[in-house]
Amino acid sequence: MAIAFEFLAPIVAVGKLTGPPTHEHHFRERYAIFTIIVFGETFVKTLTELAEQGASLHSQIFGGGVFLIAVGLWWTYFDDVADSNVRRGRPVLGVAWAYAHLPLLFAGSIAVTLAATAVLDLLTISPHHAVRNEIRAGSSLVAAAGVVLIAGVLDRPALSVVLLVAVLVVGQIAVEVAVAYSGVQTISARVRDDIGRAAEACVDLSVTEPLARPHELVCHICLDANKQWVELRQCQVCGYIGCCDDSPGGHARAHWEETDHAVIATVEPGASWAYCFAHDAVEDPWSACVEATGADHSH
C-alpha cells in the first residue's frame, strides 16, 4: 500500500503544480551520483568475484566482459542522460523522468537498464545535437532486445553470453559515436561550404586593394550635363568617380556595366566602405582611405 501511494501521489498531484521543480540541475546531479554508486558496485562485485576464483584465463576474460558491460552502461547513461534537460511543457514529464530511473537503479537487468535509458532519452533534450534522441533511444532498445534474445534463447556458456552482451552494449555506443561523427562531419562540411560561398561571393572585395581618394570629387558626366548628384563613388580598379544609384545618372553602376569593374568605395567624408556590384557584397570598414581636400560638393 505504501509503495502504491508513493507511485500514485506525484501522478495525482502533478496537475496542481504551477511550474517545473526548482533547481533542475541539482536533481540531475543527485540522480547521477546515485547512478555512479550503483554502477560502482558492479566493479566492486566483479573484482571480488575474480579474487575468489583466482586469476585464471577464463576468469579474466569473464571479468573483462563484465567490465565492458558496466563501462558501456555507464557511458550510455552519462553521455546520453546525465547532461540532458527534461523536456518542458507538462509537469508530468519531470515525474516520468524521475521514475524512469527506478528500473535503471534497482532492476539489476542489463536489458531493463538499456530500455530505461531509452525512455530517459525520449524524455530529455540532449546537448549532443549531432545525434537525435530518437537515434539514441532506438540504439538502446535494439541492444536491450538483443540482450533478451541472447539470455533467453541462446543456450550457451556464461562466458559466451557475457561476451555477446558486451559486444551489444559496446556496439550500440559505437553506433552512436559513428552517427555523431557523421553528423559533426556533415555540419562541418556545411559550414565550410557556407564559408566557401561567402568567400566566392566576395572574392572581388578580397582581392581588390583600396585606392586613395582623389582631391577632385566630382561626377564629370553629371557636371557636363549640368545635373546634380546625391553621393559619389570611386571605382577601386581604375579610380573613376561616378554618382551613386540614388542620383539621376547612376554613373558608378553604369561604369561597372561598361568596364566590369565591380568594386566601388564611398568617397563621402567620414564614411569608409566598399561595395561589390557583381556579388551584392559590402565590406565595412574599407581599409584606410586618404581623405580628399578641396573637393567640390556644390553639385
- The residue-averaged pLDDT of 279-286 equals 84
User: Is the domain of 219 the same as that of 188?
Assistant: no
pLDDT band at 251 (very low <50, low <70, confident <90, very high): very high
Q: Are 266 and 231 in contact (CB under 8 A)?
A: yes
The answer as to whether 152 is a domain residue is yes
Better pLDDT: 98 or 89: 98
We report the CATH number of the domain holding residue 233 as: 3.30.40.10
pLDDT at 230: 86
Q: What is the domain range of residue 10?
A: 2-195
Determine the Cα–Cα distance for residues 254 and 149; give it in Å rounded to an integer: 76
29 and 104, same domain (yes or no): yes
Minimum mean pLDDT range among 53-62, 108-117, 192-201, 246-255 = 192-201
Q: What pLDDT band is residue 278 in, cutting at 50, 70 and 90?
A: confident
| 154 and 70 part of one domain | yes
Tell whether 10 and 119 lie within a shared domain. yes
Q: What pLDDT, on a 0 to 100 scale, did the predictor assign at position 243?
A: 94
- Determine the Cα–Cα distance for residues 292 and 299; give it in Å rounded to an integer: 16
As a whole number, mean pLDDT of residues 249-272 equals 91
Entry pTM: 0.53
- What DSSP element (H or E) covers 263? strand 263-266
Collect all residues with Cβ–Cβ distance below 8 Å to 155 and sequence separation of at least 6: none
User: Given this model, what pLDDT does residue 197 score?
Assistant: 63
Nearest to 217 by CA among 241, 249, 248, 246: 241
Asked whether residue 154 falls in the same domain as residue 269, the answer is no
Query: Is 19 in the same domain as 86?
Result: yes
Is residue 101 domain-shared with residue 231, that is, in the same domain? Answer: no
- On whether both 168 and 284 belong to a single domain, the answer is no
End residue of a domain, out of 138, 162, 195: 195
Mark whether 187 and 209 lie in a shared domain: no
Q: Say how many domains are in the chain.
A: 2
- The least confident of 31-35, 234-238, 248-252, 293-297 is 293-297
Q: Does any domain span residue 200?
A: no
pLDDT band at 132 (very low <50, low <70, confident <90, very high): confident
What whole-number percentage of the chain has pLDDT above 90? 11
State the pLDDT confidence band at 237, using cuts at 50, 70 and 90. very high
Average pLDDT score, the chain: 78
Same domain, 46 and 86: yes
